[in-house]
Chains A and B, each alone.
Chain A
Amino acid sequence: MPQTTRIVMPASAKKGEVFQVKTIIQHEMESGFRRDDRGLAIARHIITSFVVTYAGAEIFRADVFPGVAANPYFAFTTTATETGEVVFTWTDDRGDVTTERRTLTVT
């Protein structure tokens, strides 16, 4: 099931310009180390990978582990090269994939 996400990046940029991308996704990031009221282990449920491609090329990748807090926030900068689609993909350990797309227009 896709999760709620928020992505903040410009819709257009000048060629060669460095711009910032901020992303956040709603996810419980249950570490798997906690126990419930009856002492039973709570199953791990975390995002394990986050990949961003821009005009087909990978520009950002993160492997995510249980130590990361709930609702992971990733921010990075990249350089505007050509007009193209930026694709954000989060994958969790139950195989749920959340994909978001934004188009960057380069002038």
Chain B
Amino acid sequence: MRVLLPVLLALLAWSAAAAEERPSPPRPGVEFQSSDTRQMQGDDGANPGMLWVEQGASLWRRPEGPAQMSCARCHQDAAVSMKGVAARYPAVDPASGALLNIEGRINQCRKSRMSVVPFAYESNELLALTAFVTHQSRGIPRKVAVDGPAKPYFEAGRTFYEARQGQLNLACSQCHIDNAGKRLRGDVISQGQTDGWPAYRLEWQTMGSLHRRLRACSLGVRADVLDYGAPEYLALELYLAWRGEGLPIDSPGVRR
């Protein structure tokens, strides 16, 4: 027993560390915002992100391309067909084996089904459609697949999350696990949850994608700022979604 005890203790400590990989309970991003910002997000009449949702609703019905296809012609009423979709993305596309987020899925649809030019990442159109599709899942808890074909992407995302980066030599986990809830200058460090994205960021004066936010994080630790839709950010997006499993989708969020 005397020999076993330290082993048991070590095992216990190891399992506790593994459990801590995901914050418990996960807290939505909006909880780390000021009361003014929380109020703005909570009121659909004042939340500027709803403008993009509105714009997305009209793009959903807009016929385009040689066959005059629109999203609505296949998917009909988004309130029915898109409900819960954003909660299980990013997901692996069975045909190509590639990991797709909502932006990627929309553009894949545009290319293969509508035969039109994909929207540029971070264009108002892609932001609007992404916000519109994501908004249909508002209130639905996130649950993503991280096994099977998604496993390598998930592991890549976890590695990226835990790797020290940039001149400041910081890993995502050092702020968003070790110091979440503490202050960084005038800000409260959040858990880094993605439930509110795409979100309207007051600093940007516009709607922005999750990848724009991740680019700002990369810049913040003085690491290489990767391209929109980069494989590293996609894998990270999957890992972050898994970290926030159980949190209801709450897009469009409003952020500082």
Stretch at the interface among B3-11, B50-58, B150-158: B50-58
What chain A residues lie within 8 Å of B45 (beta carbons)? 6, 8, 22, 24, 75
What chain A residues lie within 8 Å of B52 (beta carbons)? 4, 26
> Once the chains bind, are A73 and B205 in contact (CB under 8 Å)?
no
What chain A residues lie within 8 Å of B58 (beta carbons)? 4
> Once the chains bind, are A24 and B46 in contact (CB under 8 Å)?
yes
> Once the chains bind, are B51 and A26 in contact (CB under 8 Å)?
yes
Chain A nearest CB: distance from B40 CB in Å?
A: 9
> Once the chains bind, are A24 and B205 in contact (CB under 8 Å)?
no
Q: Smallest CB-CB separation from B48: which chain A residue?
A: A71
Q: Which of B43, B45, B205 has the most CB of A within 10 A?
A: B45
**How large, as a class, is the contact surface on chain B?**
10 to 19
Number of interface residues of A (CB under 8 A): 15
Q: Which of A28, A73, A75 contacts B48 (CB 8 A)?
A: A73
Q: Mark B114-131, 1 if CB is under 8 A from A, else 0.
A: 000000000000000000
A73-B46, A75-B46 known; A26+B205 contact, CB < 8 A: no
What chain A residues lie within 8 Å of B43 (beta carbons)? 22
Chain A nearest CB: distance from B156 CB in Å?
A: 33
User: Please, how many angstroms separate the alpha-carbon atoms of A22 and B45 in the complex?
Assistant: 6
Q: Which of A4, A22, A70 contacts B46 (CB 8 A)?
A: A22
Q: Smallest CB-CB separation from A7: which chain B residue?
A: B45
User: Please, how many angstroms separate the alpha-carbon atoms of A103 and B51 in the complex?
Assistant: 21
> Once the chains bind, are A70 and B54 in contact (CB under 8 Å)?
no
User: Please, how many angstroms separate the alpha-carbon atoms of A8 and B51 in the complex?
Assistant: 12
> Once the chains bind, are B51 and A4 in contact (CB under 8 Å)?
yes
> Once the chains bind, are B205 and A6 in contact (CB under 8 Å)?
no
B224 at the interface (CB under 8 A from A): no
Q: Which of A4, A22, A29, A75 contacts B54 (CB 8 A)?
A: A4
Q: Smallest CB-CB separation from B50: which chain A residue?
A: A6
What chain A residues lie within 8 Å of B205 (beta carbons)? 28-29, 69-71
What chain B residues lie within 8 Å of A25 (beta carbons)? 51
Chain B nearest CB: distance from A11 CB in Å?
A: 14
B44 at the interface (CB under 8 A from A): yes
B206 at the interface (CB under 8 A from A): yes
Q: Smallest CB-CB separation from A20: which chain B residue?
A: B45
> Once the chains bind, are B55 and A26 in contact (CB under 8 Å)?
yes
Give the residues from 32 to 48 in chain B that come closer than 8 angstroms, CB to CB, to chain A.
43-46, 48
What chain A residues lie within 8 Å of B51 (beta carbons)? 4-6, 24-26, 71
Chain B nearest CB: distance from A23 CB in Å?
A: 8
What chain B residues lie within 8 Å of A24 (beta carbons)? 45-46, 48, 50-51
Enumerate the 4 nearest inter-chain pairs by beta-carbon distance, A residue then B residue, closest first. Answer: A8-B45, A22-B45, A70-B205, A26-B51
